[in-house]
Structure 1
């Protein structure tokens, strides 16, 4: 029968979030109910609260999560009750043109649970990224659950559900960083730092972290950056070229999502180098580049959506690396908090005081 749990909702644009009673229906065909153990506070949740994604209020926030499968609906074979899972927002369909071409990581028809969770009065909730995990339990499509090693810390594992995967994937999957490459990462928040870590995992010989705050650069160095550049006081393009023999980096990852930093990334890469945009821009932003430079510099200009990840492939692999001590996911957990501290966590995140606040349930 339907269950009532506590969750964090955003009722209106810009309004402070609040705790509310949520009704979670029994899972239907292809669905699963997950008891949430941990959920990171991501910038995307703040975008939802501010109306930056859409206006389908009220939202049930939270999406960067791990937990235990409690029950499953008819036809579910991917997971079973008791499985420890990371939730993802790329439940591949298996039928679209990308999936049929053997590229499910680019699935164009990812799906969510068909049923909606509601408030006590029956008002339907829009779950953030189809997940809604700032709640004691949530309803998702079974394909949004990826089974991983249950010995992993829930707080660390859940971060692969969004930001950390986006950064690692931007380096490894989208940028195709490989042994000996030079890599520059512009913007050292959680996603940028994850890109630094991904470049290190891939064997990059030189990893240049760029930010306007020295404390963020210190963190990036601790996660694998070999060089740092404070772009508030130093021209980052000239600095990156100076550190790469005058040529520019093989791969430049832009993790800010602004025209000026994208232009820096464009000119800080070597000829035939790659630019990866993983920072999320706003709709009104525009980039003005001389077309002759786009042509003459060659290479590739790419966008990385969710780190071009395939959860069923990437999550278990990265959790194995974490369990082996080769991927320090714990370093991204700045603090653990309760459900009623999400609003304060948004403030800390906006001020750059944390990599991740993680709600523990």
Structure 2
């Protein structure tokens, strides 16, 4: 079975549980293109699970003047059943019928998802191969390890080849080997299905995702590509010339003051690191340093925006403070 990947559009979405003193979601908006893999990040209580349940049709869309949630162009408020047919969902607590064998459980779930009876055996084989369950199909779920139970839940989410797959903490509670196996399996989805998943393992998100959406206190505080999230607001530079010539380049580019580290000797050349107010300023400075190097006749060997870890970016976005560890990776 195959279906084209789905788009997702969320506009001005808010949600408050009955009796709750504060909203779980506050005016959240974003877009996901068909085939993208998006990591949904945020501290506990940020609203991630609420957002996923609304997208999957398990919670109603609370209407607002501009609120809309659409999956593959279908309105989640007025076309909830059609939206559910587009989505495969793995909740954080995987609901399994442990008294059934894996094949029986998947057959039952495929029937609920309206997979035609004649197509079910082939569809079960397909998702079992995709999730590494082929040898476990006749095993009672009660006898499976936690890692294999998680695979059954993911296989359930993939039944019927849903255009949008939403996974809430798919590797929670697994050992390192199981995490690597599940990660490789998710990566194999390629661009054939749109994937949204939450995880507290940020290295997992970095390895698997095209984009990250970060929630904090119910608000969307970042929506950016993984490459953007990893870029630090600083420039690392090396020149094929002594520190005195590198200092000329820095002066010509207008870089000076306490934000500059160096230039210092580095083998036969020199290096420097310049901290900036934001990534945009770092990009402009890198371009200015390139022009200044050409003007001064000092060939640049390295001229690039620094990198930071996703953990540092997450901390900065969700705590409102500078991360304890410096943004730059490894010095100039």
TM-score (norm 2): 0.25
TM-score (norm 1): 0.24
Structure 1 or 2, whichever has the larger Rg, is 2
